[in-house]
A and B are shown apart, each in its own frame.
Chain A
Amino acid sequence: MSKGYLCLVLHAHLPYVRHPEHTDFLEEKWLYEAITETYIPLIQIFDHLIEDQVKFRITMTLSPTLISMFTDPLLQERYVQHLNKLIELVGKEEGRTYGSPFHETALMYKKRFHEARNVFCDQYNRNLVSAFKKFQDLGRLEIITCGATHGYLPLMMLYPEAVRGQIKTAVDLHTRHLGRPPAGIWLPECAFAPGVDEILKENGIRFFFTDSHGVLYASHRPRFGIFAPIYCPSGVAAFGRDVESSKQVWSTQEGYPGDFEYREFYRDIGYDLDLDYIGPYIHPDGIRIHTGIKYYKISGKVDLSQKEPYNHWRADEKAAMHAGNFMFNRQHQVHHLASLMDRPPIIVAPYDAELFGHWWFEGPKWLDYLIRKIAFDQDTIEMVTPSDYLQRFPCNQVAIPCSSSWGNKGYHEVWLCGANDWIYRHLHMAAGKMTELADHYHNAGSLHRRALNQAARELLLAQSSDWAFIMSTGTMVEYAIKRTKTHLLNFLRLYSEIKENRIDEGHLGYLENMNNIFPDIDYSWYATKKDLPKAASM
């Protein structure tokens, strides 16, 4: 009998980066890299665990933008082309590194890329959602949703209809692709504000997560701290992030990913090799990019030029050690907590999925070892999902979680600062106008309906918290500004065309083709409801 629960949450999300207008779009590579380095390795691990009949339970977000990209034929085709180029490159690398300390690593990449093509093309017929759905249907993953485009909800709460648009669109898309409505949600950026929960409830969502202080600083001091969920007055459960397990993995200084044996992210042949050689595999304009082929290990706190060759066997041993260490610490933690509590504690450990594989190359391996060790080497902790927990412990304390996020400083500053505050004057105006349209046009005719639905898509795309985040970090800012402005301008144009009854069908068709996300969206989701939550504490 286990003494406590571990709730691992992997949040898989990328913003919608689909650019049919250009064959080599740098930002689309975010998706391709994440597929090769994160999503496919995770799928392989889950498949092997199932083959080996190892039991596990993991909570995973598939954000609606990610689902949309996974199932988009253009992006699927482009990914295959991208992967074929990588396979061609790694073939050359096999020869180039022959006899050098890098050869083993080149062979490792060769194997990985071939396996990736096999998983992507043959096993899952280019649709990775079907892989995750399979794990869900086998009872291994609990797949939850996210805001439709990862909109930052606390700063949207003045326009509850816009929050509802984010949630309803997400639940609708999720249900279509995963065959069942999501029981839970990963709030974009883990950002909560009172009132959001009521809109979740309306849409059948029963739980969400907050950062540690979201639960700890609730309106009433929680009996179990963050080691049990609390119920919002709406009845939706809030699970707080565990501090210790987050830090062991997240921290760049003390966390596992910084181990010297692990692969160095910043030494990539896309930057290191001569243009003559690497030219065909980076951006056609000669812009150097990460290819994903990296031969060095972190080595120590040394200059990038001083890095030593990577040894994947040694890194693998480290991943196993770190998994053991993580499990040991959780056991220790659970023993201690269980001695104080009159029910088993739940430790909530959420991570960005892209951390595993893309940034921390050995992350998926670590996860694999961790799951196997938990299954075979101990019986203190049991892996559960929030739904499992709520089924066993339906009675929980009621309190209002604190407005918070998992961003720097814990509140909303990352998404509301000098670098991005200008967007809200436009986003709010557009949100208000969208509701005005939805209230005014009931059962719109075919052309109007198309324009109204496209207006909702453009609003959603402009709302991605990713743009505000990128602006605040100061890198790739231009793209984030451009995306925000483009979608807002598209929205405003559609708004006046609809209002003035002069819809430019050609342009509408162009937008539908360019920004084709959410084919089943219904603009009426933006209509005013009389019993909306008060936005008093946004």
Chain B
Amino acid sequence: MSVLFPWLFWAIILVLVSGVFLWPQIKGRKAKKDKHQGFLKPTPLFNQEFSRELSIPAAQKPSAQPSEAELPHSYGVNRMILMARDPHWLFAYWEVTATKQDEFTSNYGPEAWSTTHPVLRVYDITGINFNGDNALGFTDIHISENIDNWYVHVGEPDRTFCIDLGRMFPDGRFITLLRSNIVTTPRASLSDRLDEEWMWIEGLYRSMGRFQYGTSSPMIIEELALRAGVLPLGISSPGFNQKD
């Protein structure tokens, strides 16, 4: 016992000392994470567009095999790719090369990059042949530097969109760096377009309402339940109301 006691004493001291040294590191890591998350939540200027918490720069992605070869973070290609995830959300990712950045500074002055900030300009170009100036409307999303992907909430099924990634000067001047491909969000409801030769049979739709929708399409259940009263042509039949 008398031999064990000093050992125990020194062991406790060791733990305490290492704790003192390691604590700031652990804390620092946590703090860094918090700071990072704060950084990822830019204050939205437009209510309907906001960042999802998952818009993490790709470089920060946890890797399962850190020791192995990693995929390149960038490919040295200017690109802005847009995808429609569902009737309400788009996803964009992009890469701006150093050359592109140099081009910008040579056009707008050496300070131009640091005095501007990145902006996503989301154009609604439904039904038009977009030339850069004729959009039906647009919304700006102000984002932080070093972000290279974004979920955009457009909230509009069956509309066509295009996004510019650009830099905005303090005076509001917007300079496009990259323009995305064009996407159309999927429909989220029955079409209003009816074929005269193939006039829809209302009763069939009514019976589907009674059956409810399949398990892997819960979205439709929700949506049909929501629109039970507003579907056109008197679909607000008992069938549609027997939800859940």
Contact = CB atoms under 8 A, between A and B. Distances in A.
Interface of A: 155, 158, 211-213, 216-227, 241-244, 246-247, 250-252, 255, 333, 336-337, 340-341, 397, 399, 402-404, 406-413, 416-418, 421-422, 424-426, 428-429, 477-478, 481-482, 485, 488-489, 492, 535-538
Contacts of A241: 214
B217 A397 contact: no
A485 B216 contact: no
Contacts of B65: 478, 481-482, 485
A413 B216 contact: no
B119 interface: no
Contacts of B104: none
A538 B85 contact: no
B184 A225 contact: no
B215 A250 contact: yes
B211 A243 contact: yes
Given A158-B81, A220-B195, A397-B198, A225 B218 contact: no
Contacts of B83: 155, 158, 412, 416, 424, 538
B64 interface: yes
Interface in B39-91: 52-56, 58, 61, 63-65, 68-72, 75, 77, 81, 83-87, 89, 91
A340 B204 contact: yes
A123 B74 CA distance: 53
B191 A218 contact: yes
A342 to B, nearest CB: 9
20 contacts: A155-B83, A212-B213, A216-B190, A219-B191, A220-B191, A220-B193, A222-B200, A225-B204, A243-B214, A247-B212, A336-B207, A340-B201, A340-B203, A403-B84, A410-B219, A412-B86, A421-B93, A424-B81, A424-B83, A492-B72
B30 interface: no
A80 to B, nearest CB: 32
B64 A481 contact: yes
B175 interface: no
The 4 A-B residue pairs whose C-beta atoms are closest, nearest first, are: A418-B54, A411-B86, A403-B186, A537-B184
B201 A213 contact: no
B94 to A, nearest CB: 9
A413 B86 contact: yes
A333 B208 CA distance: 10
Contact of A538 (B61, B149, B183, B208): B183
A61 to B, nearest CB: 17
Contacts of B160: 536-537
Contact of A222 (B89, B198, B207): B198
Contacts of A424: 81, 83, 93
Contacts of A492: 71-72
Given A404-B186, A424-B81, A489 B69 contact: yes
Contacts of B193: 219-221
Nearest to A411: B86
A155 B85 CA distance: 9
A227 B205 CA distance: 10
Nearest to A403: B186
Nearest to B68: A485
Contacts of B89: 413
B217 A223 contact: no
Given A217-B189, A221-B200, A428-B81, A243 B213 contact: yes
B81 A247 contact: no
Interface of B is mostly: loop
Interface in B178-233: 181-184, 186-195, 198-201, 203-205, 207-208, 211-220
Interface in B89-104: 89, 91, 93, 95
B220 A212 contact: yes
A409 B86 contact: yes
Contacts of B187: 217, 219, 402
Contacts of B207: 336-337, 340
Contacts of B186: 217, 402-404, 411
Given A411-B186, A428-B81, 19 more contacts: A155-B83, A216-B190, A222-B200, A225-B201, A246-B214, A251-B215, A255-B215, A337-B204, A340-B203, A340-B204, A408-B218, A411-B85, A416-B91, A424-B83, A485-B65, A485-B70, A485-B71, A488-B71, A489-B71
A225 B198 contact: no
A213 B77 contact: no
B93 to A, nearest CB: 5
Contact of B194 (A221, A246, A535): A221
Nearest to B188: A217
A373 to B, nearest CB: 21
A481 B186 CA distance: 29
Contacts of B195: 220-221, 223, 397, 399
Interface string B88-129: 010101010000000000000000000000000000000000
Contact of A341 (B91, B181, B201): B201
B217 A410 contact: yes
Nearest to B86: A411
Nearest to A402: B187
A295 B56 CA distance: 46
Nearest to A538: B183
Nearest to A217: B187
Contacts of A217: 186-191
B124 to A, nearest CB: 14
Given A225-B208, A341-B204, A407-B216, A421 B91 contact: yes
A463 to B, nearest CB: 15
Contact of B85 (A255, A336, A416): A416
Given A223-B199, A408-B218, A417-B54, A481 B194 contact: no
B192 to A, nearest CB: 8
B158 to A, nearest CB: 9
Contact of B87 (A407, A411, A416): A411
Contacts of B219: 213, 409-411
Contacts of B69: 485, 489
